[in-house]
Amino acid sequence: MKEKIISILNDLRPEFDFNEPFDFIKEGMLDSFDIINLVNELDSTFDISIDGIDVLPENFSSVDAIIKLLAKNGVE
Amino acid sequence: MDKVTSINEIQEKIQSIKKRSKGIILTNYYLDIPKHSSWIAKEDFFVWGTIDCVFFFKKKYSFYYLFFIGLDEKSIQNSFSQCPFKNEKLIIDIIGRADDGLKKIWEEIGFMQYNSLFRMVRIGIPSFTKIDKHIMQASFEDLIEIKKVLDKNFDSISEQIPDIEDLREILHSGGILVYKIYNSIGGFIIYNLSGMTLYLRYWFVSPEYRNMRIGSKLFNAFLEKGCLTKRQILWVLATNKNAITRYEHYGFTYENLYDYILINNYERKNNKHS
């Protein structure tokens, strides 16, 4: 799942390296609007529907945080 | 209608809707703790809701921004029909892809599209030339004039004009550059630097100083401020063709991300009764 998430992130914002252990939000790699696009991609890739109220920066600050959010939505 | 008193209160309201949800929740509200704490402190952030839907209202000028968190389309429609604020002048911002279903829900309730913006992005480390000597960081004394220019030349409904406190904060972070001619402001550029991303917020040249390349000199200085960034971003009104052409000239391209500004029928109703 980790590779898949990194691949989605790289497709979405190819100018950044999401393999690096940065805080994606603090480093300006993802902003709230990128997150909206990311949610769309995650929804269609994993066939889920992430709640609007889970669209919080901390849920997208790292690959691990995204994995946790996906797990909450039933993705194993 | 009650004033929102704490971030906890917001979180509790969100949780109460979430607990009742069996599917996805429909919302245009994204909690931003620093920003919303400041709204609470200013006492111009309000809440009203039913068991199925919560509305937040942020007062701005003569209107309110409306945020919603609802279980589904029906709950939003039913709750809004009971809302004591429904006849105020209300603005809804919906950000998403071009075919966003949330926009349709509010249009069915009676809101109309007032305007739309889309996001443009430029990828790569920006290049720039020598900074013109007339360009400098704005001072506190400049803020009143900048605020007046923003109020006069930008659309308060679509372009989220910062208030004077917001401008002070932007100034503190070094995000306002002015072009000074003698002691007058010939133009300014307001931006935000966030890690590897540079955001353009407002760019203005006074009409009497146009055709003097002040705009491009300011833009050059803006790019210099983001010399370590890997992308530069801006939002532009879809109707502002001149600006779009200019941004394209600088290498910006469209992203499939829209901001729809919807307005209720406040004006129509009030005209009818006047």
What is the average pLDDT across B51-62? Answer: 94
- B186: tokens are 């010939």
Mark out chain A residues that contact chain B at CB-CB < 8 A. Answer: 13-16, 26-29, 31-33, 36-37, 40, 49-53, 55-56
How do residues B24-56 score in pLDDT, each as one tens digit?
788 898 888 888 999 999 999 999 999 999 999
What number is the ipTM of this complex? 0.79
Task: Specify which residues B233 forms β-bridges with.
Answer: B121, B199
For residue B269, pLDDT over 60 is answered with no
Residues 154-173 on B with a CB inside 8 Å of A are none
Distance in angstroms (rounded) separating the CA atoms of residues A58 and B187: 37
Picking from B69, B95, B197, the nearest residue to A53 by CB comes out as: B69
Average pLDDT of the residues in B4-10: 94
pLDDT of the residue at B274: 35
| B74 alpha-carbon distance from chain centroid | 28
- Helix residue spans in B83-130 (DSSP H): 101-109
What is the value of pTM for the model shown? Answer: 0.86
Who's near B78: CB < 8 A, 6+ residues apart?
B50, B52, B53
pLDDT higher than 90, residue B273: no
What is the chain A residue with the closest CA to B259?
A33
Average pLDDT, integer, range B183-200: 95
Asked if A31 lies within 8 A of B123 by C-beta distance, the reply is: no
Burial category of B54 from C-beta neighbours within 10 Å (exposed 0-12, middle 13-18, buried 19 and up): buried
Kindly report, residue by residue over A13-24, the tens digit of the pLDDT.
999 999 988 999
Torsion over CA: B167, B192, B3, B54 (sign): positive
What would the mean pLDDT of B60-65 be, rounded to a whole number? Answer: 92
- Please report the pLDDT score of residue A40 as a whole number: 84
Q: What residue type is assigned to position B269 of the chain?
A: K
Helix/strand/coil for B40: helix
**For residue B270, what pLDDT band results from cuts at 50, 70 and 90?**
low
Which residue range forms the structural domain that includes residue A36? 2-72
Average pLDDT over residues B125-138: 95
Q: What is the mean pLDDT of chain B?
A: 91
List pLDDT tens digits, range B89-108. Answer: 999 999 887 767 899 999 99
Asked whether A65 and A30 are in contact (CB, 8 A), the reply is no
Predicted confidence (pLDDT) at residue B72 exceeds the cutoff of 70: yes
Total domains in chain A come to 1
Closest residue in A to B17 (Cα–Cα) = A53
Domains of chain B: 2-117+260-273 (3.40.630), 125-229 (3.40.630.30)
Closest CB to B230: pick one of A16, A26, A37: A16
Question: What are the chain A neighbours of B126 within 8 Å (beta carbons)?
Answer: none
Burial (CB count within 10 angstroms: exposed 0-12, middle 13-18, buried 19+), residue B131:
middle
Residues in B touching A28 (Cβ below 8 Å): 193-197, 229
CATH of the domain at A64: 1.10.1200
Number of A to B CB contacts under 8 A, please give it: 61
DSSP B128-162: --PPPTTEEE--HHHHHHHHHHHHHHS-TTTS---
Q: Residue B265 corresponds to which amino acid?
A: N
pLDDT in tens, A36-76: 889 988 988 999 888 777 888 899 999 999 999 999 888 88
> In B, which residues are within 8 Å of A14 by CB distance?
123
Confidence tier at B272 by pLDDT (50, 70, 90): very low
pLDDT value at position B255? Answer: 87
